[in-house]
Amino acid sequence: MLEGVERLINLAPGLASLDVAEATARGDVDSLSRTDSHFAAVGRQGQTVRLARTIGVPLRYFVAKMYHGPFLIVAERMEQIHAWLAERGLAWQFEPAYTRMIPAHYLVELDQVGCPDPVPRYHRFFTPAVGNGPADVEPAGRAYVQAALDVLVRWMRAQSRDETIAVAFSGGVDSTAVLLLAREASRILGRDPALVRAFTLDLDHGIDAAQAQRAVSVLGLEHCWERVTVPADHYDLAAAIRVIEDYHPMDVECAAAGMALLRGIRARYPHLTCLLDGDGGDENLKSYPPEDSDLTLSSILRNPLLYQEGWGVDAIKHSLVYSGGLSRGYQRTYAPARHFGFNAFSPFTVRSVIAAAVAIPFEETLAGDERRLATLKQEVVRAGVRAATGIDMPVNAKRRFQDGLTASPRPRVTKAWCRRLFERGWEDRLRAADAGTRRSGNEMQV
């Protein structure tokens, strides 16, 4: 390796405060643990590069070979890394599977000491207390929803006072809670709650559109609600795969639905940027049917952050390319929002809110009854919203966002089909890199 050559290429936007950036560079896990906002941070100290992120912001890296040693290229997206390499005739080194996602809630250290590629070291900075809260629904709901309201007040305070705030609204538990809590946060800050507007996707007389209309009617909020009717071809799975750079089928479907909605909102409001949604609410309160996966009730309850982080960085099932859980899946929200020029935010992805959920003693609350997982979220959130706002919100049965698009269920896509589209999308770019100028990694000129 050549001394004095900068070997860190940081293409990621500066989505961290100065304090967080400095703590990341120092490897100060304790300081990171005392923060609560979303961030993605990159820093270095001598030959050690450190990276850290939360659920709400992606961060990815790739090790390229240049100047007789490894160069670390950091970015939000695979395509950003590929484009940087392509400009320098080095894209022949690139392969999507060689990129690495920083797992949420970890500080990752890499030493740039030459070949072979450095082995990362992982240090947790989020270790919430588990099961130390109340088992009763009423106090559990108060703690959980109050944490979400506090987060929304902080987030809204950072937005312009006269900013219109969009809420992706299906009429389900999480989006209804976000709508009501955002209006409550506006009141707390002395702002006009009418600036919080709900938008519902209607692809083909969908179930969600009817459900959402009933919900705003019950709440008396029809004046703050818009139905966004779009053509069926706006639900584009291939485009969603390109945008989220992933092939997990449920995330692809969710992203395709989100893109159809955001395209419709953008057509109506060219300058609207603030977007709220309820992503993470299902993960926090374990509101997924176990029969849809290989999970058992025991595995769900014995792994408190399973839905947020996957099985963990030391597990066989952990993906180095994609991380796991919502740490991976939040691209279904973040990437479409960025694609259409929105700043997306969900209070349910913030660590203080996740901690309030993890504090619920689920084993005691469920008492071994797996069926109660289907209704527990509704009970907890409804109780919490009533305590925080005085409103008895309407509650509907759990349904995934993409499942409410049409009047009848859509056929599921498979992971194999999604992966083929993902790989096909990279084929032309990788073929061009192989056929084009192939510069040696030993050259001195960048």
Stretch 423-428: mean pLDDT: 93
Q: Are residues 102 and 176 in the same domain?
A: no
Q: Are residues 302 and 366 in the same domain?
A: yes
Q: Are residues 104 and 167 in the same domain?
A: no
Does residue 204 or residue 123 have the better pLDDT?
123
pLDDT digits (tens, 9 = 90+) for 138-157: 999 999 999 999 999 999 99
Least confident of 212-216, 264-268, 371-375: 371-375
- Predicted confidence band of residue 289 (pLDDT cuts 50, 70, 90): confident
Q: Is residue 61 part of a domain?
A: yes
Q: Mean pLDDT over all residues of the chain?
A: 91
pLDDT digits (tens, 9 = 90+) for 378-391: 999 999 999 999 99
Q: Is residue 107 part of a domain?
A: yes
The answer to whether the pTM exceeds 0.75 is: yes
Model pLDDT, residue 408: 56
pLDDT at 296 over 60: yes
Q: Are residues 120 and 142 in the same domain?
A: no
pLDDT at 2 over 60: no
Q: Is residue 24 part of a domain?
A: yes
Model pLDDT, residue 295: 85
Instruction: Give the end of a domain, one of 81, 97, 126.
Output: 126
Q: Are residues 284 and 333 in the same domain?
A: yes
Ordered strands of the 343-345 beta sheet: 225-229, 196-202, 165-168, 274-276, 343-345
Model pLDDT, residue 288: 87
Model pLDDT, residue 1: 47
Q: Is residue 357 part of a domain?
A: yes
Stretch 9-30: mean pLDDT: 94
Instruction: Give the end of a domain, one of 59, 92, 126.
Output: 126
Q: Are residues 366 and 293 in the same domain?
A: yes
Q: Is residue 415 part of a domain?
A: yes
Q: Are residues 203 and 329 in the same domain?
A: yes
Distance between CA atoms of 297 and 292, rounded to whole angstroms?
12
Q: Are residues 293 and 361 in the same domain?
A: yes
Q: How is residue 166 written in tokens? A: 């969009």
Does residue 132 or residue 2 have the better pLDDT?
132
Model pLDDT, residue 371: 82
Q: Are residues 263 and 314 in the same domain?
A: yes
Which percentage of the chain shows pLDDT scores above 70? 93
Question: What domain range is 27 assigned to?
Answer: 8-126
- Predicted confidence band of residue 294 (pLDDT cuts 50, 70, 90): confident
- Per-residue three-class SS string for the chain: CCCCCCCEEECCCCECCHHHHHHHHHCCHHHHHCCCCCCEEEEEECCEEEEEECCCCCCEEEEEEECCEEEEEEECCHHHHHHHHHCCCCHHHCCHHHCEECCCCEEEEEECCCCCCCCCEEEECCCCCCCCCCCCHHHHHHHHHHHHHHHHHHHHHCCCCCCCEEEECCCCHHHHHHHHHHHHHHHHCCCCHHHEEEEEEECECCHHHHHHHHHHHHHCCHHHEEEEECCHHHCCHHHHHHHHCCCCHHHHHHHHHHHHHHHHHHHHCCCCCEEECCCCHHHHCCCCCHHHCCCCHHHHHHCCCHHHHCCCCCCCCCECCCECHHHHHCHHHHHHHHHCCCEEECHHHCHHHHHHHHCCCHHHHHCCCHHHHHHHHHHHHHHHHHHHHCCCCCCCCCCCHHHHCECCCCCCCCHHHHHHHHHHHHHHHHHHHHHCCCCCCCCCCC
Q: Is residue 442 part of a domain?
A: no
Q: Is residue 444 part of a domain?
A: no
Model pLDDT, residue 237: 96
Q: Are residues 172 and 216 in the same domain?
A: yes
CATH number at residue 324: 3.40.50.620
As for how many domains the chain has, the answer is 2
Q: Is residue 440 part of a domain?
A: no
Q: Are residues 204 and 164 in the same domain?
A: yes
Model pLDDT, residue 65: 85
pLDDT at 4 over 50: no
Least confident of 20-34, 92-106, 307-321, 431-445: 431-445
Q: Are residues 81 and 192 in the same domain?
A: no
- Predicted confidence band of residue 115 (pLDDT cuts 50, 70, 90): low
* Residue 305 Cα to chain centre, angstroms: 15
Model pLDDT, residue 405: 63
Instruction: Give the end of a domain, one of 82, 103, 126.
Output: 126
Stretch 347-363: mean pLDDT: 97
pLDDT at 6 over 80: no
